[in-house]
Amino acid sequence: MSIRVEGLPVADAHRAIDAAFEEIAAVHRLMSFHEVTSDVSRLNAHGDRLPVAVHSWTLDVLRWALCFSLLSDGCFDASVGAELVDWRLLPTPPGAVRRPEGSWRDIEVRPDGKVQFHRPLWIDLGGIAKGYAVDRATECLRARGTSFSVVNAGGDIRVTGRHAEPIGLDTGPDTQFTDARPVIELKEGSIASSSGHRQRRWHRGRRCGPHVDGARRTPAATDRFVCVIAEQCVVADALTKVVMAKGADCAALLGHFGSSAHIHDPGSGWRHLETALEAE
């Protein structure tokens, strides 16, 4: 994780970066699947029995998640925590009695700001919380007067200000570029990439990675590399999951957010998905 800034006197730069790191840490505390006291864990534990009060940031992220689910016909689905537990990519939540069978449609953000699940669910916000944290950190730096910043949370990156930032793409061990590396040069935008190749494992004869097609409840292709470029990092993060599952069928969805994607599949090489809106 790294943050770089320009345009501030040294002492202010240090304070701004510390504050931005604290935003990221706070998002993690609220939304980690692994922390028992997080909003996510509290929801997974008893969100189906009574409405749960959560932090406004968690509400933000849940609203984003529901928006992505609606627009992707459920391909993006925060309730895939259940599948990730099946495939041993996440631990079983403590005290869990039964494996839940619900979907994103069972998540309700109530008018009073509390959240209720209409069926038991295990939600995992890891798919977008990191992007959201990068956005929050970026806003924090901008509010403190930086002229340029790069926030990088494990590959989810947002660049703001006067420079274009070159970003190398790590497409994994199966795609060796022996003399040249693919690079995205990014100005005033965000990028998120798939990292499925690093977490592949076998489950019942099927290769599974951390990206799930929420509508089919099956693992998305683990040989594919995807990166999505969007203005906001939460959008880049979420759309990566959908493009992993649906590939070139995502052009309209990408266009809706003014974003684009680069996809690499073994045997097919690189494809660039963009619509006229983003190309402007």
Which sign, positive or negative, has the C-alpha torsion 259, 225, 251, 218?
A: negative
Centre a 10 Å sphere on the Cβ of residue 202 and count the other Cβ atoms it contains.
Answer: 9
Cβ 87 to other proteins shortest distance, Å: 19
- Nearer to other proteins by Cβ, of 51 and 182: the residue is 182
Q: Which two tokens stand for residue 156?
A: 């989810």
Q: What is the DSSP string of 12-74?
A: HHHHHHHHHHHHHHHHHHHH-SS-TTSHHHHHHHHTTTS-EE--HHHHHHHHHHHHHHHHTTT
- Nearer to other proteins by Cβ, of 74 and 131: the residue is 131
Cβ 277 to other proteins shortest distance, Å: 11
| Site residues for other proteins per CB under 8 A | 1-10, 13-14, 17, 21, 150, 152-157, 164, 166-170, 177-189, 191-195, 198, 227, 229-231, 258, 260, 262, 270, 272
Instruction: Residue count of the chain, please give it.
Output: 280
Q: Do 165 and 193 touch, CB atoms closer than 8 A? A: no
Cβ 190 to other proteins shortest distance, Å: 8
Cβ 224 to other proteins shortest distance, Å: 13
